[in-house]
Amino acid sequence: MDTRMEIKRRTLWKGAGAAALAGSVLNAAPARAEPTGTVSLRWLGTNAWEFTTSEATVLIDPWISRFRTGTYKEGEFDPETKIEVYPEAIDEHVGGADCVLVTHGHYDHICDVPYVARKTGATVIGNESHLNFLRAMDAPEEQLAEVAGGELYKFDGFTVEVFRSSHSAGRTHKTIAFGGSWPGSVPPRPKRINELLEGGSLTYLLDFGGVSFFNAGSANFHHREIEGIRPTAVFVQPGGSHTPDYIERLLECTGYPPYVIATHWDDFDEPLTEPAVEGIRGGVARMRERVEAASPQSEFILIDHLESHDF
Enumerate binding residues for Zn ion (CB under 5 A): 106, 218
- Minimum CB separation of residue 265 from Zn ion in Å reads 14
Contact 165, 149 (CB under 8 A): yes
Query: 110 or 116, CB closer to Zn ion?
Result: 110
* Residues 90, 65: Cα–Cα separation, whole Å: 7
* Residues 39, 47: Cα–Cα separation, whole Å: 18
- Minimum CB separation of residue 304 from Zn ion in Å reads 22
Question: Would you give the DSSP letter of residue 188?
Answer: P
Question: Would you give the DSSP letter of residue 307?
Answer: -
* Residues 71, 50: Cα–Cα separation, whole Å: 24
Query: 130 or 230, CB closer to Zn ion?
Result: 130
- Minimum CB separation of residue 104 from Zn ion in Å reads 5
- Minimum CB separation of residue 167 from Zn ion in Å reads 6
Query: 166 or 212, CB closer to Zn ion?
Result: 166
Count Cα neighbours of 112 within 13 Å in the Cβ-side half-sphere: 28
Query: 127 or 218, CB closer to Zn ion?
Result: 218
* Residues 134, 128: Cα–Cα separation, whole Å: 10
Query: 166 or 295, CB closer to Zn ion?
Result: 166
Closest CB to Zn ion: residue number: 106
* Residues 98, 186: Cα–Cα separation, whole Å: 25
- Minimum CB separation of residue 217 from Zn ion in Å reads 6
